[in-house]
A and B are shown apart, each in its own frame.
Chain A
Amino acid sequence: MLMNKFRFFWHKVGPVLTVLLVIIAIWYAATIWLNSSWAYDKAKRADTTISFSQMVSDTMIQDKPLLPAPHQVVKEIYKTTVLKKITSKRSLIWHGWITLSATLLGFAFGTTFGILLAIGIVYSRAMDMSVMPWVITSQTIPILAVAPMIIVVLNAVGISGLLPKAIISMYLSFFPVVVGMVKGLRSPDQMQIDQMRTWSASKSSSFWKLRLPSSMPYLFASLKIGIAASLVGAIVGELPTGAVAGLGARLLAGSYYGQTIQIWSALICAAILAASLVAIIGIIEKHTLRRMGIQL
């Protein structure tokens, strides 16, 4: 019984763990390789020679390494999360929260906007013809080019802080929602639509009772992409603001001062945040669809 449980656990966690271990091994190897020239240079300047093992241990403890070792990043994250008060400007949790709040607001905007746009496209032929090409075009413009303009323009009209970042976040996250929901709202087959007709159902009835429930699997797939895109948008939105606050600001400040360990810890935190957000949506998806009797 216990053995079975263990097996089941290993079956699920094993592959993930294996990949993680491989990544860490490659990371360490790359750390040694990339940081070795700095270690040798330092020895040369001091007119000494160092052995291979001395070089290896030096690559693990440099202050501004080309590539910080995993344990350096872990230590930095520990220092800036657990050991710092969350109100401190050096706390990653504080910065993370700032990014997260912009992400969630932008995600809410993007999802709402995306769903409304999809309804318009599905119900209006004119919108179907005119809007969809623009929706696609909007995503071909690099967000990095658009983001500073949005920040500057909104700042000029007195809007700064959370909202401009949320808008950039929305710009990225509405797209998968539109595409998914257009497909989802159109997913009922001809028979189901005919059936509604035989009951002479109103447009709103067939929307609420047929089209919207049918679109749920598509919506959740879109939301997973959308929330990750939202996070990217929020981080990008923090770059042009002059590195005040947020994970994006930590990235930028780190690159200004060559603080590679800080950059990597912000990066890893952003990745953990993204993975958690996607996982939360995955859990909601599973419960919702199961309650709807849709087998995954």
Chain B
Amino acid sequence: MNNPVISANELSLTYQTNDGPVHALQDINLDIKKGEFVSFIGPSGCGKTTLLRVIAELETPTSGTIQVNGMSASEARMQRAYGYVFQAAGLYPWRTIGGNIKLPLEIMGYSKEQREERVAHVLELVELSGFDKKFPWQLSGGMQQRASIARALAFDADILLMDEPFGALDEIVRDHLNEQLLKLWARTQKTIGFVTHSIPEAVFLSTKIVVMSPRPGRIANIIESTLPRDRSLDIRESQEFLDIAAEVRDGLRTGHADE
């Protein structure tokens, strides 16, 4: 039971471009255990999004291995092992919120009753109950992103991959959504991979912070958070929080130093 849910071994990804090869990822070794909340942080071009996309099999690594739920990333994707939340909510304007959440369920062949039941359940999880008949344009940006999280939770995936889901939102909304996300994580016991470029966000959310550095994209440091799982926004004033944030900042700086 202690086998990692996601396991990367000597993972590299190189793009061939006209200006020569670009090493998007190099020698990535990483284990993520069940129920962990892992943040990937680093400057742009460090490969944090690429790594998430490799886990989701939206990109194929050039060498090394990646295992998700003990199988290849490809098999895991076929078995719908994860829900993926993109930077933009990406809701279909011609479907209601409920209709948007039903979309993956329809594709995966859930029955009508199951679809209704799950929509109600996940809308409750993201605190959007009663909004199922609304259209996306009737919701604020933050609410739309919550709906897109609900959509990623609607089917039985134990893993939730999130690529800067709150990047486009203002700070107040972001704080609120971060708090909600932690509650949701506690209730659902999912394993979460979360890409961000905000240090406070990474420290506040994570049990493990993967600090990455660019050119070639690699892991500079992996920090195991000592903060308790059950935390509120106040924890950001604590010394422990500030210490971890400083450690992350150090990691980012070393990553940049040898440029």
Contacts and interface: CB of A to CB of B under 8 A. Distances in A.
Contacts of B83: 198
B223 interface: no
Contacts of B137: 293, 295
A266 to B, nearest CB: 42
Interface residues of A, number: 20
B58 A191 contact: no
A293 B56 contact: no
B21 interface: no
B58 A198 contact: yes
Contacts of B257: none
Q: Is the interface of A mostly helix, strand, loop or mixed?
A: helix
Interface stretch (A148-156, A199-207, A238-246): A199-207
Contacts, number: 51
Interface string A185-206: 0000001101111111110010
B79 to A, nearest CB: 8
Nearest to B152: A198
A70 interface: no
Contacts of A291: 94
Contact of A195 (B84, B93, B135): B84
Given A293-B93, A293-B94, A209 B103 contact: yes
Contacts of A192: 90
Contact of B86 (A194, A202, A205, A294): A194
Interface of B: 56-58, 77-78, 80, 82-84, 86-88, 90, 92-95, 103-104, 106-108, 135-137, 155
17 contacts: A191-B87, A191-B88, A195-B86, A197-B57, A197-B58, A198-B58, A198-B77, A199-B80, A200-B78, A200-B80, A209-B103, A209-B106, A292-B93, A293-B94, A293-B95, A293-B136, A294-B94
